Amino acid sequence: MQLTQAPRGINVVVETSEAVYIGRVGSVEGRRMQLHHAAVFPLTAGQSAEALIRKTAKFGVPVEHQSLVFEAEGQVRVRRLGDVPKA
């Protein structure tokens, strides 16, 4: 799904080249997204984002931010957290 297609109120995974953002969609304005009850996972070289995402899908989002606004630069993909296979 595209960033602008993310429905409000659902948990999504936003993968960028630098980090993975997971949380409930609040609003989307252009490339700027607001997530509620969100977590940010910075990626290091060679780190598997998929393993981290699957673990979060299985055990839940470790909330770090009640409200988080970020620019989705270098976006790789957006998907529903509920669509992620639970590892």
Count other C-beta atoms under 10 Å from residue 26's C-beta: 16
Residue 21 belongs to a domain with what CATH number?
Answer: 2.30.30.100
Give how many domains the chain has, as a whole number: 1
The residues near 32 (Cβ < 8 Å, ≥ 6 apart) are 69, 70, 71, 72
Q: Which domain holds residue 27?
A: 3-83
How high is the pLDDT of residue 38? Answer: 97
The pLDDT tens digits of the residues spanning 22-65 come to 999 999 888 889 999 999 999 888 888 999 999 999 999 999 99
How high is the pLDDT of residue 87? Answer: 65
